[in-house]
Chains A and B, each alone.
Chain A
Amino acid sequence: DAGVTQSPTHLIKTRGQHVTLRCSPISGHKSVSWYQQVLGQGPQFIFQYYEKEERGRGNFPDRFSARQFPNYSSELNVNALLLGDSALYLCASSPKPWESGKRGSGANVLTFGAGSRLTVL
């Protein structure tokens, strides 16, 4: 079975440009999350989508946006790139988000893709 797939694997952009990163979740998973991992740091949460709706957003500027498609794949868009946006962008999928307080709901394991390494020059 295919895992989480991300494209492109590597890309180089210059400041001010725009980038689109793509993610295909594991078959049957309806939730997709995006994380940014700067070199030497742990991943930082950017977005979570479930059933095409945004379910959570981390502390990132409005230059970052995302969407989820009917087939549950997702795109992460970053506008007006800055040098500081250079990072590994990780996509993760899970069956559904954890709805805390809902009986029977629990934190699902996030399965991560190999990431898209973005370099901004």
Chain B
Amino acid sequence: AQKVTQAQTEISVVEKEDVTLDCVYETRDTTYYLFWYKQPPSGELVFLIRRNSFDEQNEISGRYSWNFQKSTSSFNFTITASQVVDSAVYFCALSIGGSQGNLIFGKGTKLSVKP
């Protein structure tokens, strides 16, 4: 069975702190994709990153970075020097293709960045 676990329900930090959001996934498929989405209070899910199972390179985009480790089935997301605008719910998701090719989401981590 496929599953995504985001163990952190809520995180609160002060502006400029670094914060890491954890994501652990389960699948027996060897080909899969992992995603992170951000959901601000407006409700619309905003795409942040996609990574396929054959690419374990870490990625950095501005203040955002992602650490993909197949050995631990984890795809963690770090925000450096957090800002108030980063406050949102962040979802990690898994896609395995075929008729189940849609996204399997975790329950999300609510990040609150206080000034």
Q: CB within 8 A of A33: which of B33, B102, B104, B106?
A: B102
CB distance from A57 to the nearest CB of B (A): 8
Closest residue of chain A to B95 (Cβ to Cβ) is A107
Are B105 and A100 interface neighbours, CB within 8 A? no
Closest residue of chain A to B110 (Cβ to Cβ) is A40
CB distance from A11 to the nearest CB of B (A): 14
Are A106 and B33 interface neighbours, CB within 8 A? yes
CA distance A88 to B45 in the complex (A): 12
Chain A interface SS verdict (over half) = loop
A43 CB-CB contact with B under 8 Å: yes
On chain B, the number of residues with a Cβ less than 8 Å from chain A's Cβ atoms is: 30
What residues on A are CB-neighbors of B104 within 8 Å? 45
CB distance from B56 to the nearest CB of A (A): 16
Interface string of B81-104 (1 = CB under 8 A from A): 000000000010101111111111
Are B45 and A100 interface neighbours, CB within 8 A? no
B62 CB-CB contact with A under 8 Å: no
A56-B100, A56-B102, A100-B101 known; A107+B45 contact, CB < 8 A: no
Are A48 and B102 interface neighbours, CB within 8 A? yes
Are B105 and A42 interface neighbours, CB within 8 A? yes
CB distance from A39 to the nearest CB of B (A): 11
A1 CB-CB contact with B under 8 Å: no
Are B44 and A107 interface neighbours, CB within 8 A? no
Q: CB within 8 A of A100: which of B42, B47, B97, B106?
A: B97
B63 CB-CB contact with A under 8 Å: no
Are A98 and B101 interface neighbours, CB within 8 A? yes
Are A114 and B95 interface neighbours, CB within 8 A? no
- What are some 26 contacts across the A-B interface (CB < 8 A)? A40-B107, A41-B108, A42-B93, A42-B106, A43-B105, A45-B104, A48-B99, A55-B99, A55-B101, A56-B99, A56-B100, A56-B102, A57-B99, A90-B45, A98-B33, A98-B95, A98-B97, A99-B98, A99-B101, A100-B96, A101-B97, A101-B98, A107-B97, A109-B35, A112-B37, A114-B43
Which 4 residue pairs across A and B have the least CB separation, nearest first?
A100-B97, A42-B105, A107-B33, A112-B45
